[in-house]
Amino acid sequence: MGSGSLRYNGMRASGMVSEQTPRDMTNSIVREFSPERIVLFGSYAYGTPTDDSDVELLIVMPLTEEWTR
């Protein structure tokens, strides 16, 4: 994506997203995948997003047996 667009639940938005959108995205990820940690970074984490900003999330998942083989 790019140019300030965001796809969430099949919807596309242009420009800056509301403060609630990253929170909703995080809640959906937690419900679906149960990660160990989610880290918001970049301009949204610093509170300085612009129309071209992406919501950047680092998702930390537990190491599973299939990954250790």
DSSP designation for 15: S
Q: Is this structure's pTM higher than 0.85?
A: no
Number of domains in the chain: 1
Contacts 24+ apart (CB under 8 A), 10-13: none
For 20, the domain range is: 5-68
* Segment 21-52, tens digit of pLDDT: 888 989 999 999 999 999 999 998 999 988 88
Whether the predicted pLDDT of 7 surpasses 60: no
